[in-house]
Structure 1
Amino acid sequence: MSDAPLMLGVSGLRGIVGQSLTPEIAWRYGMAIGQTLQQWGEAGNILIGRDSRPSGPELAAALAAGLAETGTTAIDMGICSTPAVGYAARQRRHAAIVLTASHNPTPWNGVKIIRAQGTAPTAADAQSVIDHFHALADRKPAADPAAYQIKPAGFDAAQEHAHAVAQLVDQQAIRDANLKVVVDSVCGAGGAEARTLLDQLNVSLVHLHSPPTGDFPHEPEPTEQNLTELAAAVTQHQADAGMAQDPDADRLALVDNSGRYIGEECTLALAVQHLLKPGQSAVANLSTSRMIDDLAQPINATIFRSPVGEANVAEIMRQENAALGGEGNGGVIDPRLSYVRDSLLSIALTLDLIAATGKTLAQLRDELPAYTMQKEKVPRPEGSFGQIADRLAQLFPDARIDRQDGIRFDFDNRWLHVRPSNTEPILRFIAEAPTEQHAAELTRKARSILNV
């Protein structure tokens, strides 16, 4: 048996292809999904989409073979973004599967489930799949599951999604603005959809790494150090913005018209600034910047916080009938499309905001509330996290405390979130304040009392 990790959790399954993730594992996981769909009353047909990793086709076939064992028919949508799969699931009221390992390198792949409502499963729903998977540990396929023939879809999910996104913005205003953007699609699933969207909006496109080969030209997570080429291209082409997708195109990082990386936290903040109306609500996780709180307060809008994870954001969005949601990793969720993070939506909303205001992206960024965020991780100290949280609570007696996911301390213009990792024996510290010094001081105090 391989020592490579096979990760099972609320986000689905993820492993290293050929080691911890094989066609036989995918077959078993397909069976587990099929059995769970029967419990949910969503059996029958299930949609499958995938990012551009070379391992996608054989793993999709193996999943479909496992699903067939439970009487569920898989429908192959080919390469398309995760939000395109979410949109197709909701439109057709079918559950769906996305084969992707998000920002992990090419040797990895994974399986994400989307329910027929267009939302990721809750933690309890995901646990049901995991329980079925473990119960099938002794099952073996009678034939090579990677050779299974999947039924092709009779529709283009990627094109449908791009056209649906375009309907949410002022297309004529964007066309009239004569905008130019540079998009880095990292040879992932989002390139064709981005091109379709921008063509429809008459936006001039300089496209970096658009072919969906799965051969990522740089580390695929859209962080500043990985996007120096994009920043240089924005300056070279005198573009209005640079936009970086991750491999499954559910996240978007932004570079402004000066070539400055303005990050992923600003993606959601700009969307909140543009879309949120007086009296409405939005949802973000506990580790997301308080820029959105500052933007919501003057218009009497409400920001709800959730535990970290797209499924948790989506669950509270549905409970509160929120107009918008997302996470600080560049993921924006609009329930008019689905409850899945969507880079195409973020592209469209950013262009719509530029066109509506007549301001540059640099100006829009500089008008956002000014905060500095600092992130650290340390080995987890001994004792339960409850004990750790209680010690921290004694340190900050005047703070507003949220214990949904780890523990978060809120002050008037700064906050600290401390949470245990779900996959490693570490603690994560996320602090935000008006200055780097103040953010660092919050983390220093917390680490000091824990002796880490």
Structure 2
Amino acid sequence: MDHLPDFAGSSLKFGTSGLRGLVAELNGIPAFAYTCAFAEMLKKDGSAAAARNRVLVGRDLRESSPDIARLCGAALRESGLVALDCGALPTPALAYHGMRFGIPAIMVTGSHIPEERNGLKFYRAQGEIDKADEAAILAWHAKMNILRLPEGARTVRSQSPDCDPIAAYRERYLDFFGTGALAGLTVGVYQHSSVARDVIVQVLEGLGARAVPLGRASRFIPVDTEALRMEDEALARTWAAEQALDAIVSTDGDADRPLIADASGTFLRGDLVGAITANDLGADTIVTPVTSNSALEASGAFETVIRTRVGSPYVIEGMLEATRSGARAVVGFEANGGVLLGSDIVRGGRKLTALPTRDAMLPILCALGQVVRQGRPLAQLGADFGFKAAASNRLKDIPSEKSAAFLLQLLQDRPFLGRLLLPLGGVAALDDKDGVRLTARNGEVVHFRASGNAPELRVYVEAATPERAEDLLEWGLAQARQQVA
């Protein structure tokens, strides 16, 4: 039997809707034990019985994901539940299937982080787990104290679901947008190792576009929509120069964050993609974290803008509050571009049901649909919102305690803060909703924030021009590096 190794200072930590860490620490007893803890939570509050003891299990295309998914299936069986193996599929497709049929789910994915890391995303039948669920899972994990795997845990074969979750996800968008909605467009699809790389092509072609598959990879590529690799940006520019493309689209690894470039191969910021999506769907209320562009309020496109902490659980909480307060059409999105649909949308007699989890397909289709309906290129559509130039990046492998100490110093040591922002004219405003967001007297924004699911310190900036934003980002990264190195 496998025995629990001693992981002093384990990398395994709960972040957005689940657990992430190094594959070497997750792929074994921890994956089994946390799944057992999730199962006990479902059993004790009646959720398992309501789902007829079924739990969906999906995965991304990382090399480690199939093995970890088998461990999840073994843990569910050990807990007296039935695992339904959905195979490799987009996270929002798994969540959509679970919500339709009232079945909880586990997605094995590390999203955008490097392949040596992986994770588990947990879903109730109603959608993503919240912070109370997270606490309950941690409590059950500690109480159960599982120290070994049962024999044969890595070879368990799970049942298949009664219907195809990917087909249902595909039909969701084909039905709402309608045949011919994207007719006349030629769209490059940067496939890399996105688990949605085939279904994106299928949906685009089903809506009348000509899809051009690009850059399909045989190994996992960590595409982070908030911190693009230079090689990804170079690829997009090259493809745009070589072919007449109206746009290039892609997603992160598990397809809950979109990546959209205009005809020149220039990628749109995720919060701009979210704004275009919300506008296309006729949202009267948007819910978005404090990291999204500060021009959202000034654009006048939305009646109400609700700001939250970073993370889909907080956006979901904000959307629920908005609907309780009487909002008609609620759309949530994060600066990474992931869109959460907080209410049903009806257009042209077609209904798109709420899907309160991050999704990449919806914003891709809304942005492309706007190009067709308005007859204008993406670059022009984006310019309508008057966004400030923004940029973001992160310092990798920064221990959480160092990031925390730096952020605390920004909040408590006002002389230090004054010296730090002196080159920008001093501090005009400070927001500590999530990390420390500083607005300088010259109107520029520098936001320092520790990642919730990786050992990283992120820096976000806003400025008047793209060139100034890049300079400001480099300055912000340098200031942070000095403090946490």
Change (3 A) 1:99 1:428: closer
Q: Which residue of 2 aligns with 1:74?
A: 83
**Larger deviation, residues 65-74 vs 92-101:** 65-74
Q: Which amino acid aligns with 2:339?
A: V
Alpha-carbon distance in structure 2 between the residues aligned to 1:424 and 1:56: 18
Report matched runs for 1:100-249 at 5 Å: 100-118=109-127, 120-169=128-177, 171-175=179-183, 178-210=184-216, 215-216=219-220, 218-222=221-225, 223=228, 225-227=230-232, 228-249=234-255
The CA distance in 2 between the partners of 1:143 and 1:446, in whole Å, is 49
2:407–2:448 Cα contact (<8 Å) kept: no
Return the letter of the residue paired with 2:168: E
1:103, CA displacement in angstroms?
1.4
Aligned partner of 1:258 in structure 2 is: 264
Contact 2:391–2:469 (Cα < 8 Å) also in 1: no
Query: Structure 1, residues 65-124: CA drift from partner, whole Å, max 9, x if none?
Result: 112222221111111101101111111111111111111233332110122112x22222
Q: Distance in 1 between matches of 2:286 and 2:271?
A: 15
Which of these residues, 29, 36, 42, is aligned with residue 37 of structure 1? 42
Q: Is the 2:32–2:71 Cα contact (8 Å) retained in structure 1? A: yes
Contact 2:13 2:453 in 1 (8 A): no
Q: How far apart, in 2, do the equivalents of 1:390 and 1:36 lie? A: 39
- Structure-1 separation of matches of 2:8 and 2:42: 30
Distance 1:226-1:96 versus aligned 2 partners, 3 A rule = farther
Following TM superposition, by how much is the alpha carbon of 1:150 offset from its aligned partner in structure 2, in angstroms? 0.6
Q: For 2:449, what is the secondary structure of its paired residue?
A: strand
Match of 2:336 in 1: 329
Q: Report the equivalent of 2:348.
A: none
Please, which moves more after superposition, 4-13 or 371-380? 371-380
Cα distance in 1 for residues equivalent to 2:252 and 2:338: 10
Q: TM-score, with normalisation over the residues of structure 2?
A: 0.81
When normalised by structure 1's length, the TM-score is 0.86
Query: Do the aligned residues in 2 keep the contact of 1:372 with 1:439 (CA within 8 Å)?
Result: no
State the AA in 1 paired with 2:166.
A
RMSD between superposed Cα atoms in Å = 3.3
Q: Is the 8 Å Cα contact of residues 391 and 461 (structure 2) preserved in structure 1?
A: yes
CA positional deviation for 1:159: 1.6
Tell me which moved more, 370-379 or 62-71: 370-379
Cα displacement string for residues 406-441 of structure 1 (whole angstroms, at most 9, x for unaligned residues)? 343568965443334446787544232324548967
Counterpart selection for 1:369 from 379, 386, 390: 386
Deviation at residue 45 of structure 1 after TM alignment: 1.3
**Could you say if the C-alpha distance between residues 448 and 282 of structure 1 is closer, same or farther in structure 2, counting changes exceeding 3 Å?**
same
Separation in 2, partners of 1:263, 1:406: 20
Task: Report the identity percentage.
Answer: 25
Deviations 1:3-34 (A, max 9, x none): 795322133222333x2122332211210110
CA deviation vs aligned residue, 1:283-332 (integer Å, no higher than 9, x gap): 1111112243233xx24511111111122112211221261111111211
Structure 1 CA distance, aligned partners of 2:185 and 2:472? 42
1:24 aligns with one of 26, 29, 34: 29
Aligned mates of 2:239, 2:406 — CA distance in 1: 49
How far the C-alpha of 1:219 sits from its partner, in A, is 4.3
Distance verdict in 2 for CA 1:3–1:320, change over 3 Å: same
Paired positions, count = 441
- Once the two structures are superposed, residues 216-242 of structure 1 have per-residue CA deviations (whole angstroms, 9 ceiling, x without a partner) of 3x5433425132223322332201100
Partner of 1:282: 286
Shift of 1:182: 0.4
Q: Deviations over 1:106-152 (max 9, x none)?
A: 3332110122112x222222122123223333432331211112111
User: Are positions 1:432 and 2:462 aligned together?
Assistant: yes
Paired position in structure 1 for 2:345:
none
Q: Deviations over 1:212-265 (max 9, x none)?
A: x5x13x543342513222332233220110012111111111211122233434
Q: Partner amino acid for 1:137?
A: N
1:242 partner SS: strand
- 1:404 pairs with 2:433: yes
Cα distance in 1 for partners of 2:481, 2:213 equals 48
Match in the other structure for 1:310: 312
